[in-house]
Structure 1
Amino acid sequence: MAVDIKNLNHNQLNDLIAKAQQRQTELRKDKVAKLREKIHALIKAEGFAFEDVFGQGRAGKVRKTGGIVPPKYRNPADPEQTWSGRGKRPRWFNDALKAGKKEKDLAI
């Protein structure tokens, strides 16, 4: 199936490119599926389970979620304003440092 691309207009050429990319994706998926089957067969032939070789994957891992961090610094002008020391510094913290205070002066 030889296609003479010199005789194709812009739209036809774009369609041909899209179909070729789609076919390329299909071929890649087929190749990956065949490789996966080969790997599973090899693991089974050796007497192991997939999990023995590769572990539990994401299901076995527990991701630590960001919890509440206790505050490390308190605004002396307004004791309700606190900062944990993580993330961007609050404006009151920067203002206190500019006024001559030190971080240890603002620590709780």
Structure 2
Amino acid sequence: MTTSYKELLKQREALEQQINEARRRELTSAIAQVRDLVAEYGLTQQDVFPAGRAGRVAAAGGVKVAPKYRDPVTGQTWTGRGKAPKWIQNEDREKFAI
């Protein structure tokens, strides 16, 4: 016996509801366990989520680098990172150094 498309969709919807309910229950339990541990050991947010590695990654993403090369004709600059612009490709970079 084959199951129709509409029946399968109803089954999927019922399963998704069960999945969401199970997730909600388990999250509630997990959060309670975490809160108990935090209270028991007197942990702070810094203890649990140190700024170390995550902070460096976020900070490094927005750091600007000073340009190393300038095109004397247009005044465009390049940091020396990434793909070289056309004005410096196949040229001696020393003559463009800032």
TM-score for both structures, normalised by structure 2: 0.69
Structure 1: 5+ residue stretches without partners: 1-5
- Write out per-residue CA displacement over residues 49-102 of structure 1, whole angstroms, 9 at most, x where no aligned residue: 353641467xxx5842625433211224x15122122333211111xx2xxx32
Aligned match of 2:86: 91
Counterpart mapping for 1:17-32 below 5 A = 17-32=12-27
Tell me, what secondary structure is at the counterpart of 1:105?
A: helix
Is the CA contact 1:40–1:50 (under 8 Å) kept in the aligned structure 2?
Answer: no
Equivalent residue in structure 2 for 1:104, among 79, 91, 94: 94
Structure 1 CA distance for aligned equivalents of residues 46 and 64 of structure 2: 36
Aligned match of 1:48: 42
Distance of aligned partners of 1:52 and 1:71 in 2 relative to their CA distance in 1, 3 Å threshold: closer
TM-score for both structures, normalised by structure 1: 0.64
Shift of residue 105, structure 1, vs aligned partner:
2.7
Q: Kindly provide the amino acid, as one letter, of the partner of residue 26 in structure 1.
A: E
CA-based RMSD: 2.8
Identity among equivalent positions (%) equals 26
Shift of residue 7, structure 1, vs aligned partner:
6.7
Aligned match of 1:3: none
Q: How many residues align?
A: 93
Distance of aligned partners of 1:83 and 1:47 in 2 relative to their CA distance in 1, 3 Å threshold: closer
Is the CA contact 1:72–1:85 (under 8 Å) kept in the aligned structure 2?
Answer: yes
Q: Kindly provide the amino acid, as one letter, of the partner of residue 97 in structure 2.
A: A
Greater radius of gyration (CA)? 1
Structure 2: 5+ residue stretches without partners: none
- Write out per-residue CA displacement over residues 4-48 of structure 1, whole angstroms, 9 at most, x where no aligned residue: xx474211211211220232122112102111102212332x241
